[in-house]
Structure 1
Amino acid sequence: MSFHLLVVCVSVFGFFSDVKSMRTLKNVAVKRGGSVTIPCSYEGQYKANPKFWCKGYKWNSCNIVAYANSSGSTSVIDRPAQNLFTVELNPVSESGMYWCAAEIGDKWQKDDRDNLYLTISQDPDVSVRESRVRGEEGGSVTVQCLYSAAYQKTQKQWCRFKDGQCNTVGTKTSQNSAVQFSDDGRRSFSVMMSGLKKCDAGWYWCSAGDLQVPVHISVDMATADSTRSCNKSSIEPVQFCIANN
């Protein structure tokens, strides 16, 4: 009798699915009182599901802050055509664990979600000059990422949110014709993306150590044709050696 009960229990609980296709950043640095926009991506089957932003260290006890499409100090905007929603916080005041989530509404499945930590400080260890940059097809854009002395010797990266591909930045300039780096080795590194195509538009992040800062790049249509193909991402996994100081 006990054996049969055990088999039934295992079979029933096997139906429960812990969905985790949602994806966002992991540890975002933000200036206290400033603003930040967080990208959250999800699988195509959840296009029609309600999206929301939740606050709390544990998923089971987090408090829903805002649903899409809402406005206020926390604004959640769903973009089903991109399988993406964004969360704009303005102003930002409190560090803590937060969650991007899609409501599934099924007793057999948990909501689709992913968590990130917001590290809020008056003088963030990692930041960017501009969090939204605009360029033109065939042209170039430059993003300047700043870091504190405490993060001087940590690994620096420039990554594309869409596919998670990253370039690791060193003190040398990248030889990648589409993405070039310059790191002063002290307080900032710059990323220049050239030969822009429409497909280069979207969310990226720059990071130093464990801290990330999201950056959105827009690409306007040019009057003349661009020469670089969209078949290959401008972000390629490239490793650079950091010179010993």
Structure 2
Amino acid sequence: MAAYAKIKIFYISIGFWLILGVESYSGGSNHTLTIYPGGSVTIPCHYDKKYTQQKKSWFSEIDQTSTYTNTTEQNLSVIDHPDQSLFTVTMRNLQNKHTGLYYCVVETGEQPPIKTIYEPYLKIQTAPDVSVVNSSVSGHEGGNISVQCLYSSGYQNKTKQWCRYKDQSCYTVGRTVTSQNSSVQIRDDDGRRSFTVLMTGLRRTDSGWYFCSVGDALNPVHITVTEAEPGKAKDTSESGHQENNNNTTEVTDKLQKENKLLTVWLPVSAALLLLLILISVFIWRWRRRPKQDEQQIRGRNGSRNNDAIYSKPEDPVIYSTINDENPNDAHKDTTTYSTIDNIPGSEAKPPAGGTVYSSVAPHQQQQ
């Protein structure tokens, strides 16, 4: 016989259970797990420690088959965890044909011989009534973790809860429950049709299976709390399977790098721009200076009248008229000096005495 046995067992059907006296699941109303087509789900089945050595199985009412623990198939795994007093059922590639009622069963070895410990109803939906962003979340002892639960529009007015499978203890939206060092806060966001569970001050005993619940629909989540690393601050939140956290870290690192670049390049760019402006102003002034000097020289030359000397080569006398720039300026020296000399090539001869007389007087301009 193979390591596992997958056989049809009709004695486990409801009618035969009633004959044998089967202890039914007493955990309240059936839980409805809503799953995407093609998706997967892991369901925990808790049992009493006294059944650790007993046979456990996963029973499908759809095809009346039972799969015992420690069985692994392509789309189904049933694994016992005796140290945690539970076995898990993982179903993969779920399709509409998998919609139906299932049972977690323990063969007690006593009366009644069969005990149903859990009765989940699987419902495959294109838009699940209840789903979770991450089905497995982990954090360090003393730190925090958060879980986001989503629900459809038809479930907006139903009760939202965060529950623990083991003892069926639940925390309701709008209430903060503190237990010793850890606390649970649940906040609902009707606009986004989701509620967020925040667990703070984590303890190792907080590890285990939980589920997001809205009305009678739910979705399981596994929480793992590891020992805090010595010498390091306890994490505020960490998820081994949360891609959102990884994306947030990448975005934060990118923003920090961009801020460093801005911090370095902004002052450098400003200094380069200022230097460029100064060089441009210097070149502009340097190019304008020759034109200004030329204009100033022309202005000065235009304000002074240098009269030509009126004489003929045969004239014995050289006449020269000198006009002052501003003869009425009281602060200016009124003495005008004039040097008169022979013009080369002139036929005029200087007087015998060698003395040249020159009369210099202010020239009054006619209005």
1:133 aligns with one of 133, 137, 143: 137
Q: Which residue of 2 aligns with 1:48?
A: 53
Q: Which residue of 2 aligns with 1:223?
A: 229
Q: Which runs of 4+ in 1 moved over 3 A?
A: 20-25, 173-177, 224-227
Q: C-alpha root-mean-square deviation of aligned residues, in Å?
A: 2.6
Q: Which amino acid aligns with 2:70?
A: N
Say yes or no: does 1:210 pair with 2:216: yes
How far residue 62 of structure 1 moved from its aligned partner, in angstroms, is 2.9
- Cα separation, partners in 2 of 1:129 and 1:53, compared to 1, 3 Å: same
Identity %: 43
CA contact (8 A) 1:145 1:190 kept: yes
- Cα separation, partners in 2 of 1:221 and 1:22, compared to 1, 3 Å: farther
| TM-score using structure 1 length | 0.76
Looking at structure 2, the residues matched to 204 and 39 of structure 1 have their Cα atoms a distance apart, in angstroms, of 9
| TM-score using structure 2 length | 0.52
Q: Which residue of 1 aligns with 2:64?
A: 62
Q: Secondary structure at the match of 1:81?
A: helix
Bigger fraction of residues in strand: 1
Greater C-alpha Rg? 2
Looking at structure 1, the residues matched to 26 and 114 of structure 2 have their Cα atoms a distance apart, in angstroms, of 10
Q: Which amino acid aligns with 1:130?
A: N
Q: Which residue of 2 aligns with 1:38?
A: 43
Looking at structure 2, the residues matched to 137 and 102 of structure 1 have their Cα atoms a distance apart, in angstroms, of 34
Q: Which residue of 2 aligns with 1:26?
A: 31
Deviates more, 1:93-102 or 1:176-185: 176-185
Q: Which residue of 1 aligns with 2:152?
A: 148
Deviates more, 1:41-50 or 1:189-198: 41-50
Alignment of 1:2-21 (within 5 A): 17-20=21-24
Say yes or no: does 1:191 pair with 2:193: no
Alignment of 1:76-91 (within 5 A): 76-91=78-93
- Structure 2 regions of 5+ residues with no counterpart? 1-19, 235-367
Equivalenced residues, count? 206
How far residue 103 of structure 1 moved from its aligned partner, in angstroms, is 2.5
CA contact (8 A) 2:138 2:224 kept: yes
Query: 1:1-43: CA deviations, max 9, x gaps?
Result: xxxxxxxxxxxxxxx6533468697211111110000010111
Say yes or no: does 1:74 pair with 2:76: yes
- Cα separation, partners in 2 of 1:199 and 1:122, compared to 1, 3 Å: same
Query: 1:224-245: CA deviations, max 9, x gaps?
Result: 5999xxxxxxxxxxxxxxxxxx
- Cα separation, partners in 2 of 1:122 and 1:153, compared to 1, 3 Å: same
2:113 aligns with one of 95, 104, 110: 110
Alignment of 1:149-168 (within 5 A): 149-168=153-172
CA contact (8 A) 1:21 1:42 kept: no
The one of the two structures with greater contact order (alpha-carbon pairs below 8 A, sep at least 6) is 1
- Structure 1 regions of 5+ residues with no counterpart? 1-15, 228-245
Q: Which amino acid aligns with 2:115?
A: D
